[in-house]
Structure 1
Amino acid sequence: MNSTPEWIARSVSRLRTAAPAADTKAADKPARAVLDKTVTDVVPKTPQPRGTHERLQATLRRGQEALSPRALRRLLADLQEVVAPQVSEIEGGRRAQAVADWYAKAEPEERRDMWLLMCEQFAPDASRFKSARARYEAAAGTEEEGQAEISLRRALVSPRTRLLQRFAVFPQGMRFLVDLRAELLPQLKGDKRLLPLDAELEHLFSTWFDVAFLELRRLSWDSPASLLEKLIKYEAVHDIRSWADLKNRLDSDRRCYGFFHPRLPGEPLIFVEVALLDKMSSSITPLLDESAAPVDISRATTAIFYSISNTQTGLRGVSFGDSLIKHVVETLTAEFPRLRTFATLSPIPGLRPWLGKHAGAMLERLDDKRRAELGRAVGFEPPQATHLLAALDKAAELDARSPVRQVLLECAAYYLGRELPDGKPADPVARFHLGNGARVERLNWGGDPSAKGLKQSYGLMVNYLYDLKRLDKHRSLLAQGKVPMSGEIESLCRG
């Protein structure tokens, strides 16, 4: 026997198949609407997840909920005890550590329930905020304005803020919070209810990890082995292949510096690798050559930042790079007064995917003569985007006079110097350095011939120049939607 929902669905299907001619359709709309609504009503809907307010009042768990209502109430009570008004900071920290111990043993979905409690049960008091805001607006321009502002600020401090502050009290509390956010971040897109907790953590981290509380340290071959292992683990630009590779990067003509926080001892938050040279570097290969003889640092005039790596996913959105480069430049200048040039040798990780989408538009910028030259080079006239992209897969084989090579350089310059979605450079590395006040200085063909370099940018690398006297000017230009660049890059952008 067929079920009623299946019978209704089949009947509706037959009615639609045998629909009358166009002139009679209008008369059947009400009937079809009733049938469509009937089908919609009988098709099971995916239930919306219950919020913690509803779950705390329930007696049984539902569907995929991890913690039972009873366990959820118990966890909420433990969290509330952490921020109880009569509890001291030290005792609150001890209670927070007990919750962290539970968290360490919890399943991922149970941890998610704790995040939801922190979001929904420790939110600011909306009525208190509304009242404080009205008082502040009424007091504007009067002698009561200052006190009204204080009240407004206090109303904005949520119980969640105090809760997270208590977690930061116990010895491993900062590590716990940073790791918690690293685990939380991938879940935000799928569950917007978690956004308040992320925003609160990012705000607190921006204060707790302010550069005023960080220490710049040089890392050398004499550093503890546990710290050197962290460099190998966290290196994000050019993988460290071996201990010999690491030793080369810490040789006499190299420097490596990292920012450290007192609550995360032995853990670099970000580190930069520097090569001391007599000119701007155009290729990463000699810098990573373990057999190369060290440069005479007494003759060095140029510092090349060839790798900058953030190490803590949980600190995403907290910026260290600008301050790190400034501090490193000051440190290097004090040690090596002959240094005059500070630049990077950087990858262009977004170039290949960007060109895959915009190759056609870039071809349209070519005049007839250039398009014909390119067509002859790729074997198709007129050349299409697919022809150009196929030819670029063999970029390492192109000679200096190849039209394909010239087009790629122009595309890369345009990508770095003109592509500004939402007013910011499209390439993530460009966004970092240009935001710090650097300018796009030079493109380097075959700068990274590794498989990774070819996959990212057909082997191209770029130098960003840090002109210490023009950093503010460059930031100002970028804020106006103009990328600071050298004449060479400007010429390539024009094509």
Structure 2
Amino acid sequence: MSLLADLLSTVFERRYRREAPGATEDGRPLTEMATALVGSAGETSGLALAREILSRFAELEDADKLAFFQDIASAMNIDPEAVRTTLDDYERSPSKASYQAFADAAEPARQEFVRRLNRVPGATGALVKMRADLLRLGGKQPELQALDLDFRHLFASWFNRGFLVLRPISWESPAHILQKIIAYEAVHAIHSWDDLRRRLEPTDRRCFAFFHPSMPDEPLIFVEVALTKGTPGSVQALLVEDRTALPAEEADTAVFYSISNCQAGLASISFGNSLIKQVAADLSAELSGLDTFVTLSPIPGLTKWLKQVGLTWTTDDPENMQALAAHYLLNAKSSRGLPFDPVARFHLGNGAIVHAVHADGDISDKGRAQSGGTMVNYLYDLARVAQNHENFANTREVVATAEVQALAGPVALPKTEER
């Protein structure tokens, strides 16, 4: 895939150079160039303009990037009066023309601006970085939040599952990809090349990542998988150095023990749902003995929540931590009825159920700090995930095994607001 993408990029680059041999640096202010790009009718001149905007933006200091975002958000906003007028026209006389007029008025020009930037070969990755800057610098400014919705709207289409390519990552993968796996690992840090090798090379280990054709050397999200007998309750046991690898054909369980989003500029663009289900389907086809698909997941908000609601806890009492974790996962919800825990929201929303809670599942400093060492298995029953997803979306009920329900017990939890 990378070779094909490189060849295509080379063709596009050569075509661009032939069409715009005299392109020179534009001396206008960046916001003026942006307005000109939206109004440009010529493909060649538009490409040259878009390329220079992207190049100059990447060199700006943060203060200037923020000012550019603010200018674009304001100058390329919708005209509320035009939206009202065209909507009234459509309501009085629905037609192709009146609907088109309303649609044109309701779409801010900044969406077309981002689309035109994306016509430049290689621009998709640059725009992902641009949105990362927007999220980092924009804070809670309403006008910049609206601009971010425009980015999200476009990215949801551009990074649709149909455009994504699932690639296995192995010890034989190119070094520059492996370096990014090390850098982007967000759940259980990879401390060395030897550590990475232990996660990729053994027969009972797998790693898969989604890539986009426009960003062939940048993983979007990846999952690390352990093939085991039975359901594990400790990540240290999975990652121990001197273990004996299990022949893959002897495994009955696939354990998703780390899922890492790689691109800050793709926040809120969901890939994990598709990734887990696709990997589970592929592994089922490869290994007929696999009949259980579970995660071994952190509980990142547990200790913070316990402090907020005034419940006492200590890592020296693992059984108590296990019970508190079960309470938290099943009962701690926002006023909207959603689980507090972000990992729980993700997996339950994907159609998994709470399968088991483990004390001392992650005894690293990070694991102790965020959850008192507890971890949780979410079970993906491939025959029921669609039904579970619908049930959770409609009722927000947290489905758990009888063992977890019993562990949660009768502790009364204070009502709190969602963080």
* TM-score in same-fold range (> 0.5): yes
In terms of mean alpha carbon deviation, does 348-357 or 168-177 score higher?
Answer: 168-177
Matches within 5 A, 1:63-462: 74-88=29-43, 90-139=44-93, 144-250=94-200, 251-360=202-311, 388-389=312-313, 392-395=314-317, 405=319, 407-421=320-334, 422-462=336-376
Equivalent-residue separation in structure 2 for 1:464 and 1:287 (angstroms) = 17
User: Secondary structure of the residue that 1:342 maps to in structure 2?
Assistant: strand
Deviation at 1:158, TM superposition (A): 2.1
Contact 1:420 1:481 in 2 (8 A): no
1:31 paired residue number: none
User: Secondary structure of the residue that 2:217 maps to in structure 1?
Assistant: coil
Contact 2:66 2:138 in 1 (8 A): no
Deviation at 1:213, TM superposition (A): 0.4
Equivalent-residue separation in structure 2 for 1:176 and 1:196 (angstroms) = 20
Equivalent-residue separation in structure 2 for 1:470 and 1:461 (angstroms) = 23
User: Secondary structure of the residue that 2:235 maps to in structure 1?
Assistant: coil
Equivalent-residue separation in structure 1 for 2:128 and 2:293 (angstroms) = 32
Equivalent-residue separation in structure 1 for 2:98 and 2:253 (angstroms) = 54
1:484 correspondence with 2:380: no
Equivalent-residue separation in structure 1 for 2:206 and 2:166 (angstroms) = 13
Q: TM-score, normalised by structure 1?
A: 0.74
Equivalent-residue separation in structure 1 for 2:402 and 2:98 (angstroms) = 54
Equivalent-residue separation in structure 2 for 1:72 and 1:194 (angstroms) = 26
1:474 correspondence with 2:396: no
Equivalent-residue separation in structure 2 for 1:233 and 1:450 (angstroms) = 19
Equivalent-residue separation in structure 2 for 1:95 and 1:283 (angstroms) = 54
Structure 2: 5+ residue runs without aligned partners?
1-25, 411-419
RMSD, matched Cα: 1.8
How many residue pairs match? The answer is 382
User: Secondary structure of the residue that 1:294 maps to in structure 2?
Assistant: coil
Contact 1:97 1:167 in 2 (8 A): yes
What are the Cα deviations for residues 42-91 of structure 1, in whole angstroms up to 9, with x where unaligned? xxxxxxxxxxxxxxxxxxxxxxxxxxxxx997333211221224222x43
Deviation at 1:136, TM superposition (A): 1.9
Q: TM-score, normalised by structure 2?
A: 0.87
Contact 2:255 2:293 in 1 (8 A): yes
Deviation at 1:170, TM superposition (A): 1.3
Q: Which has the higher contact order (CA 8 A, sep 6+)?
A: 2
Equivalent-residue separation in structure 2 for 1:233 and 1:102 (angstroms) = 27
Equivalent-residue separation in structure 2 for 1:72 and 1:456 (angstroms) = 51
The residue identity in structure 1 corresponding to 2:153 is H
Deviation at 1:409, TM superposition (A): 2.4
Deviation at 1:191, TM superposition (A): 2.9
The residue identity in structure 1 corresponding to 2:263 is Q
The residue identity in structure 2 corresponding to 1:131 is T
Deviation at 1:190, TM superposition (A): 4.9
User: Secondary structure of the residue that 2:326 maps to in structure 1?
Assistant: helix
- Structure whose CA Rg is larger: 1
Deviation at 1:423, TM superposition (A): 1.9
1:494 paired residue number: 409
Contact 2:40 2:46 in 1 (8 A): no
Contact 2:211 2:220 in 1 (8 A): yes
